[in-house]
Amino acid sequence: MLRKSSWLMAPCLAYMLVMYVTPALIMLYSPFQNGVGSGIASLGEALVEPSYQRVMMTTFRTALVVTVVAVLLGYPTAYYLSRLPSEKVGKYMLLIMFPLWTSLLVRTYAWIALLQDAGVINSTLMSTNLISNPVRLLYNSGSVAIGMVQILLPYAIVTMYSVMVGIKPRLSQTAQVLGASPVRAFWHVFFPLSLPGLSAACLLLFIMGLGFFVTPALLGGRRDMMVGTLIQQQVVLLGDWNSASLLSIMLLAATIILLFVYSRFARLENLVPASS
């Protein structure tokens, strides 16, 4: 039975090799098809190209900002949930999962409807005469960050929650019985134990933040372009396959390096809390 069943893997493996590995290799190879030397040269040029550098800087900065904000918002939330009795957590978790189930474009559209000049926030403020002219809330780095944080929060909360829920409440109580103040008990007992979840959430969010496409494209202005949008523009609008694949290689390299770091101190399977 044991030997006989491995052929069941064949269809899926064949599919992945043809439809996934081969396309990836074609893309990785395409800058090098005129010789390895010229490929490396063009990759080097792309790395120092000012317009690419600017987009790359925006990408990294945005990913960093949204990671920090989402973790700062997510940590107390996950802490609160992890201290709730387990029968109460269920309905909160449903609410946290709800954004993940709703369409990405629907959520982005909702932000546009809220933030645009004639949108919910501006029209409400104007009808109450708090402001006379609409405030420009959309198409800047702030609106991109708001949209991205909202999308990333569920990942942050669940990643940290899964670690925090394993920290026994008794530990903090013991510290307090022994004379520590609640604040001291938190920082000296709970916080160090929650660090694996915190660092895993940071890396996961940063990796995901680098690859964002829809949110910056729809909520951001021209100056907030991230590398995902640039790749799409190079291919679809300009037909410049070479630049698109060079940018993809850079994005992919950053992702792989970070994933490697992640796998050093957290198992990749932990990215999927359900499998535990």
Partner 1 sequence: MNTASNTPRVAPWTAWFAHAVIGFMVVPTLLVVPISFNGDQYLRFPPRDFSLRWYEDFWSNEQWLHSAWISLVTALAVMAIATTLGTLAALALHRMTGASKKILLGLMMSPLMVPTVVLALALYFFFARLQMVGTWTAVVLGQVILAIPFTVLNVHASLQGYPATLERAASSLGAGPATTFFRITVPIIRPGILSGALFAFMVSFDEFIIALFLAGPGETTLPVRMWQTMQLYISPTIAAVSSMITGITIAIFVASHALRRRANRRRFAERQPGTSRLASTRGHTLAPASGRWTENRKLMSTEV
Q: Which residues inside 196-255 make contact with partner 1, applying CB under 8 A? A: 207-208, 210-215, 218, 227-228, 231-232, 235-236, 241, 244-245, 248, 251-252, 255
Piece of the chain touching partner 1 by CB under 8 A; list 36-44, 49-57, 117-125, 191-199: 117-125
261 binds partner 1 (CB under 8 A): no
**Range 10-39, binding partner 1 (CB under 8 A):** 11-13, 15-16, 19-24, 26-27, 30
Per-residue b or e along 117-145, where b marks 16 or more CB atoms closer than 10 Å to that residue's CB: eebebbeeebeeeeeeebeebbbebbbbb
**What residue type is 178 in one-letter code?**
L
Closest CB to partner 1 among residues 187, 241: 241
Q: Segment contacting partner 1 (CB under 8 A): 33-41, 42-50, 100-108, 194-202?
A: 100-108
* Window 53 to 92, contacts with partner 1 (CB under 8 A): 73-74, 76-77, 79-81, 83-85, 88, 90, 92
**Member of 65, 68, 180, 259 binding partner 1 (CB under 8 A):** 259
Least distance between partner 1 and beta carbon 50 (Å):
22
Question: How big is the chain by its Cα radius of gyration, in Å?
Answer: 23
Q: How far apart are CA 266 and CA 201, in angstroms?
A: 10
| Total of residues contacting partner 1 (CB under 8 A) | 105
d(CA 156, CA 202): 8
> What's the longest Cα–Cα distance across the chain?
76
Residue 125 has phi, psi (to 5 degrees) of -65, -40
225: alpha, beta or left? (left if phi > 0; alpha if psi -120 to 50)? beta
Q: How far is the CB of 37 from partner 1 (least distance, A)?
A: 22
